[in-house]
Amino acid sequence: MRVRAGLWAVLAVVVALSGVWAAHRGRVAFPVIAMAPGHCILKTAEMRRTHMMLLRAVREDIVRRDARDTRFRLTHCVACHVERTASGRFVPVNAPGQFCASCHAYVGVRLDCFDCHAAVPARKGFTAGTALQAAFRIPRALRGSGGQGPGGQP
């Protein structure tokens, strides 16, 4: 009898604790995936899993192998995914809650690209339109749908 009461007590504690845990589950905000208008160069799911590998491979090509004509460029990512305020100013993609920062905060991975790289597009010259031109060199089958994204869920 006493054993059974003990077991119930343990169970009650476990249930209570899981309630506390559940209440705290939302403490890291879900990422905000602001989808750029038009086509992303890869399907969302693919980009989510592989962007870090792509960027690492491509940085070698660009910096060391003189192959600047590549589809995956950090400047293109920034040009499409940067947020513009109503007054037309750019919000850096690594600012809290922005495209890059919100996911990286959620998964707890330090984002250090923008210690060196510009987190906003150049005022002149490079625009989302230029970035999208590059997208049309991507085989159609690999192209993401863009615009919608699966509900902004991680």
Distance of closest approach, residue 68 Cβ to other proteins, in angstroms: 5
Q: How many residues bind other proteins (CB under 8 A)?
A: 14
Among 39, 51, 59, 71, binds other proteins (CB under 8 A): 59
Q: Which C-beta is closer to other proteins: that of 31 or that of 74?
A: 74
Interhelix angle 128-135/74-81, rounded to 10 degrees, is 120
Q: Does 146 bind other proteins (CB under 8 A)?
A: no
Q: Does 117 bind other proteins (CB under 8 A)?
A: yes
By the 8 A CB rule, do 114 and 93 touch? Answer: yes
A 10 A CB-CB count for 99 gives 25
CA 59/CA 153 separation, integer angstroms: 29
Q: Does 51 bind other proteins (CB under 8 A)?
A: no
Q: Which C-beta is closer to other proteins: that of 117 or that of 143?
A: 117
Closest listed residue to residue 29, CA positions, set 91, 79, 104: 104
By the 8 A CB rule, do 144 and 43 touch? Answer: yes
User: Which residues sit at the interface with other proteins, rule CB under 8 A?
Assistant: 59, 63-64, 66, 68, 75, 78, 115-118, 121-122, 126
